[in-house]
């Protein structure tokens, strides 16, 4: 089917590709709108991995990544490139996801052209402008120019209502992270279940507010956990941010039971989560995926915009103090009943069919 309506889907970083892939694929299946995927390439290799994993059809690549770029450099390059792209493509609507600089720039550039904005994963809030930094503010600013607010949970919907977004502009859909996970688990099949005698701890950390000393504290906690528990092995795929790598490699390289790895492809990372006994992470997406896989996750942050995982009992906010991380991880490694309670908690982020709901709303309204 050909259509004169164009849905422009914008992505810049790894998590946006993972969470927008189900939307792009569902919109292609729906067929009522032409789908154009635009990447700013705020991330290069880490986005390439995800574009390949989901076979995303990239129409435009703005190629803005520069080594160790500042927030202002990313913002300027993304806004300018997206402005040009929207002027050239004249889309019917622009879809952005989450809270990155690309997200905000995509929404703002669309607004400047008076093109309707659809925001996937709308309404998450910590209510602290500096945590996560700058994402909390990116997400709030994006809401100011959004026409279609796709809230993953009722909590996110309530945040938007409190800020005065009309009910008729909000749809509670579930999180498309669970769609991506479902699609990938269906592909990976039985391999997801395999595990060995050792207990694996999977770690990721990259948040800007954790750069430097907090990251060093996380590393200290990992070394102490390996000393205390002989059957523990740590897998740590290290984010490509040079600020992250400087601390992590300096502190952990060469440790016999801590494997520092390059960022994993999505399917490989999903398998790593499935095979982990415990997950330690400051990532947003991992906080959503771990509960869906029945894996307890200790959240290496002071606040979270995803309180649902903590309320459901599958996640616990532990911050970045080495003693606290060590104590809570030790408890999970020693107390089977406590471990079982966290592992059995129910995933609060949806049924894995959020993307179809999003596409159906957009196609009904725009096509
Ligand atoms: C960004 C997002 C953050 C998101 C995270 C996901 C902003 C402000 N931050 O983090 O919300 O949670 O991505 O991972 O939008 N680099 C590479 N190759 C890559 C990716 C990064 O070399 O594929 C290096 C580059 O030197 C780059 C640096 O990492 O300058 C940091 O990249 P950036 O997009 O600024 O990452 P963060 O802001 O840390
Ligand atoms: N992820 C991955 N490979 C890795 C680490 C993470 O595929 O080596 C996936 C993970 O499953 C999740 C997403 O990347 O879906 C999280 O990305 P990130 O932590 O970079 O960003 P955040 O979610 O914190 O914005």
Which atom of ligand 2 is least distant from the CA of 281? 19
Instruction: Name residues contacting ligand 2 (CB within 6 A).
Output: 14-15, 18, 177, 204, 206, 237, 263-264, 266, 269, 283-286, 289
Note the pLDDT of residue 193.
Answer: 55
- Asked if 160 and 243 sit in the same domain, the reply is no
pLDDT at 219 over 90: yes
Confidence of residue 354 (pLDDT cuts 50, 70, 90): very high
Nearest C-alpha to atom 4 of ligand 1 is from which residue?
A: 100
DSSP readout, 78-144?
A: HHHHHHHHHHHH--SEEEEETTSHHHHHHHHHHHHTT--EEEET-----S-TTSSTTHHHHHHHHHH
Measured in Å, residue 51 CA sits from the centre of ligand 1 at 16
Q: pLDDT per residue over 262-288, tens digit each?
A: 999 999 999 999 999 999 999 999 999
Same domain for 337 and 251: yes
Are residues 358 and 293 part of one domain? Answer: no
Could you report the per-residue pLDDT of 165-190, keeping only the tens digit for each?
999 999 999 999 999 999 999 988 75
**Closest atom of ligand 2 to CA, residue 285:** 23
Is 277 considered catalytic here?
Answer: no
Q: Which pLDDT score is estimated for 68? A: 86
- Is the minimum distance from the CB of 240 to ligand 1 under 6 angstroms? yes
**pLDDT band of 345, cuts 50, 70, 90:** confident
Its domain, for residue 248, covers: 193-343
| Nearest ligand, measured from the Cα of 48 | 1
Within this chain, do residues 295 and 360 fall inside the same structural domain, yes or no?
no
| pLDDT (mean) for 335-364 | 96
Tell me: pLDDT of 312 over 80: yes
Nearest to 19 by CA among 74, 83, 89, 99: 99
Q: Is residue 126 a contact partner of residue 305, using CB atoms and an 8 Å limit?
A: yes
Number of domains in the chain: 2
Q: Whose CA is nearest to atom 24 of ligand 2?
A: 283
pLDDT band with cut points at 50, 70 and 90 for residue 261? very high
In this structure, the answer to whether residues 25 and 156 fall within a common structural domain is yes
Residue with tokens 């952005």: 96
pLDDT surpassing 70 at residue 2: no
For the CA of 99, the nearest ligand: 1
Instruction: Tell the burial category of 186 from Cβ atoms under 10 Å away from its Cβ (0-12, 13-18, 19+).
Output: exposed
pLDDT of 319 over the 60 cut: yes
Is 181 within a domain?
no
Q: Looking at 135, 179, 282, 302, which residue is catalytic?
A: 135
Look at residue 107 in the predicted model and tell me its pLDDT: 98
Query: What residues contact residue 355 under an 8 Å CB cut-off, 6+ apart?
Result: 22, 23, 25, 26, 176, 179
Confidence of residue 109 (pLDDT cuts 50, 70, 90): very high
Residues 332 and 246 in one domain: yes
Q: Are residues 310 and 248 located together in one domain of the fold?
A: yes
Atom number of ligand 2 nearest to Cα 100: 25
| Cα-to-centroid distance, 25 and ligand 1 (Å) | 25
Task: Identify whether 129 is part of a domain.
Answer: yes
Nearest CA to ligand 1 atom 27: 68
In a domain, 186, yes or no: no
pLDDT digits (tens, 9 = 90+) for 17-42: 999 999 999 999 999 999 999 999 99
pLDDT-derived band at 1, boundaries 50, 70, 90: low
In a domain, 187, yes or no: no
Q: Is 239 a catalytic residue?
A: yes
Residue to mutate (ligand 2; options 99, 285, 306; most atoms within 8 A of CB):
285
Q: Which of 14, 39, 139, 206 is catalytic?
A: 206
Whether residue 115 lies inside any domain: the answer is yes
Residue 99 annotated as catalytic: yes
pLDDT reported for residue 76: 98
Do residues 99 and 234 both lie within one domain?
Answer: no
CATH number at residue 13: 3.40.50.2000
| Residue 206 is among the residues annotated as catalytic for this protein | yes
Which residues 6+ apart lie within 8 Å of 14 measured at CB? Answer: 43, 46, 47, 49, 50, 263
pLDDT of residue 189: 75
**Residue 167: active-site member:** no
Considering the domain architecture, whether residues 18 and 167 belong to the same structural domain is answered as yes
Res 71 pLDDT > 80 = yes
Query: Which of 11, 40, 65, 73 for mutating ligand 1's site (highest number of atoms within 8 Å of CB)?
Result: 65
Quote the mean pLDDT of the chain.
Answer: 96
**In the chain, beta strands by DSSP E:** 6-11, 34-39, 58-61, 93-97, 117-120, 148-151, 170-172, 199-204, 232-237, 258-261, 278-281, 297-299, 315-317
Q: What is the pLDDT of residue 94?
A: 98
Ligand minimally distant from the alpha carbon of residue 286: 2
Same domain, 61 and 167: yes
- Look at residue 124 and tell me whether its pLDDT is greater than 60: yes
What is the distance between the alpha carbons of residues 78 and 73, in angstroms, rounded to a whole number?
8
The pLDDT tens digits of the residues spanning 145-169 come to 999 999 999 999 999 999 999 999 9
Please indicate, yes or no, whether residues 15 and 155 belong to a single structural domain of this protein.
Answer: yes
Q: Is 242 in the pocket of ligand 1 (CB under 6 A)?
A: yes
| 121 included as an active-site residue | yes
> Counting Cβ atoms within 10 Å, is residue 237 exposed (0-12), middle (13-18) or buried (19+)?
middle
Q: How far is the CA of 49 from the centre of ligand 1 (A)?
A: 14
What is the number of other CB atoms lying within 10 angstroms of the CB of residue 307? Answer: 17
**Are 337 and 358 part of one and the same domain?**
no
């Amino acid at each position: 089917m050909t259509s004169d309506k164009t849905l422009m889907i914008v992505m810049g970083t790894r998590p946006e590709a993972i969470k927008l892939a189900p939307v792009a694929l569902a919109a292609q299946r729906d067929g009522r709108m032409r789908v154009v995927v635009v990447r700013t390439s705020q991330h290069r290799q880490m986005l390439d991995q995800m574009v390949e994993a989901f076979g995303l059809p990239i129409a435009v690549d703005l190629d803005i990544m520069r080594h160790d770029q500042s927030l202002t450099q990313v913002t300027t390059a993304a806004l300018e490139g997206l402005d040009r792209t929207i002027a050239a493509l004249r889309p019917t609507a622009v879809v952005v996801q989450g809270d990155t600089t690309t997200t905000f720039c995509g929404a703002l550039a669309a607004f400047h052209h008076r093109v309707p904005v659809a925001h996937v994963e709308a309404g998450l809030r910590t209510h602290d402008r500096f945590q996560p930094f700058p994402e909390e503010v990116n997400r709030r600013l994006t809401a100011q120019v959004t026409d279609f607010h796709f809230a993953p949970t009722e909590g996110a919907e309530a945040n938007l209502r409190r800020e005065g977004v009309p009910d008729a502009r909000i749809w509670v859909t579930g999180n498309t992270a669970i769609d991506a996970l479902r699609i990938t688990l269906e592909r990976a099949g039985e391999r997801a279940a395999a595990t060995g005698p050792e207990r694996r701890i999977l770690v990721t950390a990259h948040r800007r507010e954790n750069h430097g000393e907090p990251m060093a504290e996380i590393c200290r906690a990992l070394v102490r956990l390996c000393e205390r528990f002989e059957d523990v092995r740590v897998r740590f795929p290290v984010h490509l941010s040079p600020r992250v790598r400087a601390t992590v490699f300096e502190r952990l390289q060469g440790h016999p039971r801590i494997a520092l790895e390059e960022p994993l492809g999505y399917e490989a990372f999903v398998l790593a989560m499935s095979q982990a006994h415990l997950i330690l992470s400051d990532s947003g997406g991992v906080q959503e995926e771990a509960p869906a896989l029945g894996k307890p996750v200790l959240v290496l942050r002071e606040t979270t915009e995803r309180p649902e995982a903590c309320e459901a009992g599958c996640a616990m906010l532990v911050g970045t103090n080495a003693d606290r991380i060590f104590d809570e991880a030790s408890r999970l490694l020693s107390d089977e009943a406590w471990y079982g309670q966290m592992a059995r908690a129910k995933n609060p982020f949806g049924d894995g069919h959020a993307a179809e709901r999003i596409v159906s709303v957009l196609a009904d309204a725009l096509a």
